[in-house]
Amino acid sequence: MRMFKRFSQALSVALLLSAFPISAQANEIPANFSFTGSGYGHGVGMSQIGARAKALAGESATAILNYYYSGTSVETATDTQILRINIGHLLTSAKIRSDSAGAVFALYAGAVSETGTSTAILNYPSKTTLNLNLSGGQISISTLRGSKTTQIASGSVFTLRWSGTRYMEGAPAVLSVTTNNVVNRYRHGQIQFKVVKDKLLGKRIEIVNSVRLQDEYLWGVSEVPSLWPTAALQAQAIASRTYALAKAVRIRAACDCHLYGSISDQTFAGFAKEGEPKFGVLWKNAVDSTIGQIITFAGSPITAYFSSSSGGITETSEHAWGTATPYTLSVLDTASVDVALNPRFASWSRQIPQSVIAAAFVLDDVVSLQVISMNPAGTVALIQATSSTGITAELRGETFRSRSKLPSAWFSIVG
């Protein structure tokens, strides 16, 4: 009788356990995943940390570029093109204001081309805030001066010009543009506000600053510290000019722009860069002293990829993104793993939340990660995730590091 009772209890426990999925019993879902690695960015093309080290060692800008972009030359080209730089993406609201004394502003309905003229629907002085709000699929514009709000107009496209630019005479003005609670300042060109339809979010506002490549744009590119050695600044100026020129061939519908003003392309900080106390002039001098200079391969401008640092050897575009370019071969980049030269990213460790990892693989959850293969430069080529239900998914290493916000694809999984 006692034996039967024990058997009955054991059978009850077995039946109870069988009511739950085996995966839930066997696979605990981690709250975080841990990684260690080195380098920052995709590591393709010029390493900025490496460029600085070479400049400190006395190498010229041309020598630096020839090293990181294999088989290339530095030539001179026209760089007076007008670029459309996206400075506000997928917005529902924004604010524009300038406190520059004596400055005046003109708002136009519709798109006004570089050489076009039109009649302003509003002329207003400095210390007036221009408010943009998405309402009913249109941009609703109002002004705020003191405590008085005035509704101005509603439409799908507007153009803003201000004094001290190529378009208007008068006192120079620096505009403060607030988007998503972040304030950036702009001095040159003109600004356009336009409604664009996003596939997922529907109608949104895009803000674009039209500036001249030669100076107005490059003066505002903020990719390296302005106090770096001259040769490193010049190498960056030439690479940035070349990259922008390669992107100037078409306007992207998603942003109504040639380039994003963010790390999606290269960081455009506007007046904050050229106006840096003490050091801003050093960056402007690097831009001006290399006027028109671009990097070419077989006589054509290259797409001059660059990033902060690597894992000790640069990556190829083929292994990073699947498209080979003859000028992005892997080269040694020992400065990137030198703690003295790259204190933040010579080595690093990160913990990434479960939610971020799962989203990267488009899985409900992830219980384990496994590196499937490595590239010759030491980056992760393929990484596989397994969910609690046994579903697996694979990603290219560069795609995974981008989605998971890891500093680079030179990483290892801890544990």
Give the pLDDT confidence score for residue 415 in this predicted structure.
Answer: 85
Q: What are phi and psi of 76, to 5 degrees?
A: -110, 135
Closest Cα partner for 347 from 356, 338, 334? 338
Are residues 383 and 394 in contact, defined by beta-carbon separation less than 8 angstroms?
A: yes
DSSP collapsed to 3 states, the chain: CHHHHHHHHHHHHHHHHHCCCHHHHHCCCCCEEEEEECCCECCECEEHHHHHHHHHCCCCHHHHHHHHCCCCEEEECCCCCEEEEEEEEEECEEEEECCCCCCEEEEEECCCCCCCCCCCCEEEECCCEEEEEEECCEEEEEEEECCEEEEEEEECEEEEEECCCCCCCCCCCCEEEEECCEEEEECCCEEEEEEEEECCCEEEEEEEEEEEHHHHHHHHECCCCCCCCHHHHHHHHHHHHHHHHHHCCCCECCCCECEECCCCCCCECEHHHHCCCCCHHHHHHHHHHCCCEEEEECCEECCCCEECCCCCECECHHHHHCCCCCCCCCCECHHHHCCCCCCCCCCEEEEEEHHHHHHHHCCCCCCEEEEEEECCCCCEEEEEEECCCCCEEEEEHHHHHHHHCCCECCEEEEC
Distance CA 49, CA 337 (A): 10
Q: Would you give the distance in Å from CA 203 to the centre of its chain?
A: 22
Q: How far is CA 198 from CA 88, 182, 202, in A?
A: 14, 22, 5
Q: How far is CA 51 from CA 246, 273, 315, in A?
A: 21, 20, 15
Reading phi first (left if > 0) and then psi (alpha if -120 to 50, else beta), residue 64 is in: alpha
| Predicted TM-score of the model (pTM) | 0.91
The CA R_g of the chain, rounded to the nearest whole Å, is: 27
Closest Cα partner for 353 from 35, 37, 33, 36? 33
Q: How far is CA 338 from CA 79, 121, 312, 327, 412, in A?
A: 36, 57, 9, 25, 19
Give the pLDDT confidence score for residue 10 in this predicted structure.
Answer: 44
Mean pLDDT of the chain: 93
Are residues 95 and 178 in contact, defined by beta-carbon separation less than 8 angstroms?
A: yes
Are residues 53 and 341 in contact, defined by beta-carbon separation less than 8 angstroms?
A: yes
Place of tokens 């860069």: 273
Q: How do the pLDDT tens digits run along the chain, 415 residues long? A: 444 344 344 434 343 433 434 333 446 899 999 999 999 999 999 999 999 999 999 999 999 999 999 999 999 999 999 999 999 999 999 999 999 999 999 999 999 977 767 899 999 999 999 999 999 999 999 999 999 999 999 999 999 999 999 999 999 999 999 999 999 999 999 999 999 999 999 999 999 999 999 999 999 999 999 999 999 999 999 999 999 999 999 999 999 999 999 999 999 999 999 999 999 999 999 999 999 999 999 999 999 999 999 999 999 999 999 999 999 999 999 999 999 999 999 999 999 999 999 999 999 999 999 999 999 999 999 999 999 999 999 999 999 999 999 999 999 999 8
Give the pLDDT confidence score for residue 12 in this predicted structure.
Answer: 45
Single-letter residue type at 172: P
Please give the domain boundaries of the chain with CATH numbers for all domains.
26-45+305-415 (no CATH), 82-217+252-274 (2.60.200)
Distance CA 74, CA 61 (A): 10
Give the pLDDT confidence score for residue 27 in this predicted structure.
Answer: 67
222-241 tens-digit pLDDT:
999 999 999 999 999 999 99
Angle of CA points 248, 260, 246, to nearest 5°: 25
